Amino acid sequence: MGTLAAGTQAHSAVSLTTEPLTPIWHPSPNFGARRDGLTPSLIVLHYTAMTSAQAALERLCDPTCEVSAHYLIGSDGTLWQMVSEENRAWHAGAGEWHGQADINSRSIGIELDNTGFHPFSEPQLTVLEALLRQMSERWSIRPEHVIGHSDMAPGRKSDPGPRFPWQRLEHLNLAGQRGQSAPQSVRMDSFRALAQSAGYTADANDDTLLAAVRLRYRPWGKGPLEPADFAPLAE
């Protein structure tokens, strides 16, 4: 399967999301071959937590940092590509999703220029949505396999953070739909079973697992486990 063509012009945010995107090709040396013949089946979203997109771009392409991603989207909607989709970028690190490790070999990584504490811009989200549509079609990636870094690495990572608009992606069928029903009784073993069924299989204690699920679905949630924590995980 092909990847996005390397381009020379920045792509500004557009409303016509079926238009092919032409990223700025800015190659990173930090990549390798996907292992065991794997092809992308996941998309992992990150925030850069840096002062600017340019600073993030330099870090993602610095061989001494040993980190990269396939794409970086600036807050103004500028799209850079650093690693071919066919190759394994170094963006996810240790973690697991649905019982599968080596997320780097199974995924495409997208970095979003954001500190984690402020809203994501409309131009940035428009380009992200277009990119998700095109990659999902290209690699037959289902909406429920678009995840956050914090989903596959609970406790270790917090991106794309509490300000990321997951429900917007869900409404566009670009991320898995959350459930609505809450149980009558609240038990941690039942919550853990639901979370694992949803994909949260990485090793995590009860508090860390609850925090990771809340970060994705209800970042305002505080205190002990409650019925509302079950609802988004329900079938």
In three-state secondary structure terms, 129 is: helix
Q: What whole-number distance in Å separates Cα of residue 77 and Cα of residue 23?
A: 10
b/e burial code for range 68-78 (CB count within 10 A of at least 16 → b):
bbbbbbbbebb
Catalytic choice (19, 66, 85, 111): 111
Which runs of consecutive H residues, i.e. helices, occur in 96-147? 103-106, 122-139
Q: What whole-number distance in Å separates Cα of residue 191 and Cα of residue 204?
A: 13
Task: Find how far residue 54's CA is from the centre of its chain.
Answer: 20
- Annotated active-site residue 111? The verdict is yes
Give CA angle at 205 (209, 216), nearest 5°: 10
Q: What are the backbone dihedrals phi and psi of residue 117, each rounded to the nearest 5 degrees, phi first?
A: -120, 0
Q: Catalytic site residues?
A: 111
